[in-house]
Amino acid sequence: MSWLPKSPKARRRLWVVAAVAPVLALAVGLSLYAMRDSVTFFFSPSEATPENAPAGRVVRLGGLVETGSVVRDGSGQVAFAVTDNVATTRVVYQGDLPDLFAEGEGVVAQGAFLPDRSFRATQVLAKHDETYMPREVADRLKAKGEWRPVDSSPATP
């Protein structure tokens, strides 16, 4: 007894499927391999370990700008610390910061860790109004028990 169907039409379909399946699998595999560099992972300072975020890999680092940590020099370079109230990471950024960048506020920096575990940012994103914090940052702060949302309900007389 053969495992092939008896009908010539069904046998032809089986051979077509058997020929197309590996080609399709190869195409999907190559597509996923090509997109691996375009994926940017998000970490909070306490999650950004050398195993999770190795030096040189582009990632996003989010948290709160530590109060008193912003240092600007004359060449336009800004250094500040990002914290999730568990760990702190030093961030260095060359360029203009967003107008809404402030100490104690939420920030997401995109860049890469250097071998000394400081973070070289290529882009810095700040909140856009007084009640917004990036979702990833808010989720990480909630998980750590540090989330203090602003009460947006109107006061009743």
69 is in an annotated binding site: no
Which of 50-60 are b and which e, b meaning 16 or more Cβ less than 10 Å from the residue's Cβ? eeebeeeeebb
| Nearest by Cα to 43 from 61, 64, 66 | 61
Label residue 38 left, alpha or beta by phi (over 0 means left) and psi (-120 to 50 means alpha). Answer: alpha
Burial class (CB in 10 A: 0-12, 13-18, 19+), 3: exposed
132 is in an annotated binding site: yes
User: CB neighbours (10 Å) of residue 62?
Assistant: 28
Q: Which parts are annotated binding residues?
A: 128, 132
Question: What residues form the annotated binding site for heme?
Answer: 128, 132
